[in-house]
Amino acid sequence: MNRRIQALDFKGPGVRSTYLMEYPVIDPVLIHLGPLQIRWYGLMYIIGFFLAYVIAVKISRRRAYEMTAAEIEDLLAYCVIGLILGARFGYCMFYNLLFYLENPLKIFAVWEGGMSFHGGLVGLILAGLLYSRVKNKQFLMLADIGAIAAPPGLFFGRLGNFINAELYGRVTDMPWGMVFPGAGSLPRHPSQLYEGFFEGVVLLLVLYLIHLRSRTRGILIASFLFFYGLMRFFLEIFREPDMQMGFVLGFLTMGQVLCVIMVIAGLCLFACRLKSART
């Protein structure tokens, strides 16, 4: 990636920066095979699921979960379907409901973009509940495994957003601001990289430390909900609100509203699991 510093003078509203990091324009299509295309974004999903499988297998062995590698493979298959369906339908519901009600066939036009983390989370929860019923496994155990296995996928997902030049940040005068294709001429926060670092790297470290200290089931998923929601809430300050929605509830974005729900859910689950462990 070309990280060359480029001397430019942007004097838009609120911007007085003379330097910015040049956005490393990357073809979103990794490989062209005739009419078929292999995209970086799809590759990021594959890498994320692979790392989730590796982490889930190792964690299940260390914590003596009743899960074999074959069972984790089955769980991952449920999760892939739940994540994709949930992320797509979640985006349609949370971020552009009226448009998709008027154009229902567009729901299936996933190549046009539009995936929601919070919708994907709901899809994963439903997939885990279904798997727990079919395979007779404890749901909280599955949720804990998924919680600590998820951050690498979040990291690579945000890297895919960065390569696609989507979900970029707000206008900034910081020297690492970048001019993203299709986002005007002013430098913006590379918020995808902020989110990738905190939601992927930092969150994984936090959950790993909690995993070393706690053996109460449900604590890992509660911690994931709380810390992800908290990190994402503050990171949304640097991210440009979705164009079709702008701000909701005054000064909050839809992502922040959904993160508040995550934080509350995480705190409630954490309190319930601690109370259960003491009785």
Question: By C-alpha distance, which of 111, 107, 131, 130 is closest to 119?
Answer: 107
Long-range CB pairs of 91-100 (<8 Å, 24+ gap) are 91/115, 91/116, 91/119, 93/119, 94/118, 94/119, 94/254, 94/258, 95/242, 95/244, 95/245, 95/254, 96/244, 96/245, 99/244
DSSP 182: T
Q: Is residue 232, in this structure, part of any structural domain at all? A: no
Which residues are registered as beta bridge partners of 252? 248
Confidence of residue 265 (pLDDT cuts 50, 70, 90): very high
Q: Is residue 229, in this structure, part of any structural domain at all? A: no
CA pair distance 242, 116, nearest whole angstrom: 12
Q: Is residue 127, in this structure, part of any structural domain at all? A: yes
pLDDT of residue 19: 52
State the residue range of the domain holding 113. 5-215
Q: How many domains does the chain have?
A: 1
Q: Is residue 164, in this structure, part of any structural domain at all? A: yes
pLDDT digits (tens, 9 = 90+) for 139-162: 999 999 999 999 999 999 999 999
Which residues are registered as beta bridge partners of 33? 36
Q: Is residue 221, in this structure, part of any structural domain at all? A: no
pLDDT of residue 3: 37
CB-based contact 227:203 (threshold 8 Å): yes
CA pair distance 196, 132, nearest whole angstrom: 30
pLDDT of residue 15: 47
Q: Is residue 148, in this structure, part of any structural domain at all? A: yes
221, 226, 276 from 269: Cα distances, Å: 8, 10, 10
DSSP 105: G
How far apart are the two ends of the chain, measured CA to CA in Å? 55
Residue with tokens 């164009």: 243
Residue 5, pLDDT > 60, answer: no
CB-based contact 151:49 (threshold 8 Å): no
**What residues have CB less than 8 Å from 23, skipping those under 6 apart?**
165, 178, 179, 180, 181, 190
CA pair distance 242, 265, nearest whole angstrom: 24
Give 107 or 200, the one with higher predicted confidence: 200
Q: Is residue 273, in this structure, part of any structural domain at all? A: no
**What residues have CB less than 8 Å from 232, skipping those under 6 apart?**
117, 195, 199, 255, 256, 259, 262
Q: Is residue 21, in this structure, part of any structural domain at all? A: yes
Helices (H), 138-253: 139-149, 151-163, 191-195, 203-213, 219-235
pLDDT digits (tens, 9 = 90+) for 66-105: 788 999 999 999 999 999 999 999 989 888 888 888 888 8
